[in-house]
Amino acid sequence: MSGINSATRIMAILDVFTEDRLEWTPEELMAELGYSRPTLYRCLKTLREAGFLTSLPNAGFTLGPRVVEMDFLMRKSDRLALSGQPYLDQLVAAYPCSSLLVRWYGAKLLCVASECSTPDPVSSYPRGRPMPLARGAISRAIMAHLPRRQLLPLISDNLAELSNIGLGEDIDEVMTSMRQVRRQGYALAQGEVTHGVYGVAAPIFDAGAAPIAAICVTIKARDVAKGQLRDICAAIRETGINLSRDLGALDQHDDLSRTESPPTSSPKPGIQRITLQ
């Protein structure tokens, strides 16, 4: 078993663990993945010794404590979560809502940080739980800002669901809806993920051209005062711009620090924040 094949096979084992399947027996893994018994047991031994899997007596395997350890390290090192925390706090202080930071990776959306200022949070997706790809404001805020070569396959693969929520009957119509989201700088959805809830989201960029995440507010429709939805949309758009600026400044600082003779007296890039009202 070559090194590349070994790594691929090990990752495939980790990928089968989902919210719907938290435990697997070796027999189930062999049937699911098509591995021979010797190959599977070599991979399981590696994962168990590294702490990524735990074996249960007379049962199967579940994820192990190393996953928790790495989540702790990610919380302390993730620039998006660290830079975004003050903005999450601002949003929940301004509105009776949940505020979320959601990362885009591969073709998945994953909440990495959230805050709430209501006793009964309305978000169904806490940290670590994947979100729907073709429903809700978060999805559109990110998809609308993807390069065309990435966006078209996503629309094609999810056209039925995108049509069901009224974005268009064909790819061209959905693209028109996405362009509108891109022009306004935020996405608004009502009841697409959770009944009776508004979702408002804006894309987040670092130094690259494609979004890496979105920042979102979810708020019960009955808690939105007359005329307030427009203010929330504006606040989310401005928050996405400011957080993107923060992350871009961090990347610029890292680029300077890697040069052989970084400037010692140049002013730092200015970051003009827009305070929520």
Which of the two residues, 123 and 259, has the higher pLDDT score?
123
Structural domain count, the chain: 2
Question: Domain of 243: which CATH number?
Answer: 3.30.450.40
Which domain-ending residue is among 34, 68, 102?
A: 68
53 and 114 housed in the same domain: no
Does residue 73 fall inside a structural domain?
no
84 and 185 housed in the same domain: yes
Range in 31-40, 75-84, 121-130, 183-192 the model is least confident about? 121-130
227 and 134 housed in the same domain: yes
Question: Domain of 55: which CATH number?
Answer: 1.10.10.10
40 neighbors 26 (Cβ within 8 angstroms): yes
Does residue 274 fall inside a structural domain?
no
The mean pLDDT value of the chain amounts to 86
Average pLDDT over residues 190-206: 91
**Predicted confidence (pLDDT) per residue in 28-38, tens digit:** 999 999 999 99
Determine the Cα–Cα distance for residues 145 and 151; give it in Å rounded to an integer.
Answer: 8
Does residue 262 fall inside a structural domain?
no
pLDDT over 80 at 232, yes or no: yes
Which domain-ending residue is among 68, 86, 121?
A: 68
Q: Tell me what pLDDT residue 122 has.
A: 65
145 and 127 housed in the same domain: yes
Q: How far is CA 38 from CA 7, 119, 165, in A?
A: 16, 51, 48
Which domain-ending residue is among 50, 68, 86?
A: 68
Q: Tell me what pLDDT residue 139 has.
A: 92
116 and 250 housed in the same domain: yes
Determine the Cα–Cα distance for residues 152 and 202; give it in Å rounded to an integer.
Answer: 20
pLDDT band at 127 (very low <50, low <70, confident <90, very high): confident
pLDDT over 50 at 275, yes or no: no
Average pLDDT over residues 245-259: 68
Q: Tell me what pLDDT residue 254 has.
A: 59
202 and 128 housed in the same domain: yes
**Predicted confidence (pLDDT) per residue in 61-112, tens digit:** 999 999 999 999 999 999 999 999 999 999 999 999 999 999 988 778 999 9
Residue-number span of the structural domain to which 131 is assigned: 78-257
Range in 130-134, 224-228, 265-269 the model is least confident about? 265-269
pLDDT band at 250 (very low <50, low <70, confident <90, very high): confident
107 and 231 housed in the same domain: yes
Does residue 273 fall inside a structural domain?
no
Q: Tell me what pLDDT residue 272 has.
A: 38
8 and 89 housed in the same domain: no
What percentage of the chain has pLDDT greater than the value 90? 67
Average pLDDT over residues 250-255: 60
23 and 152 housed in the same domain: no
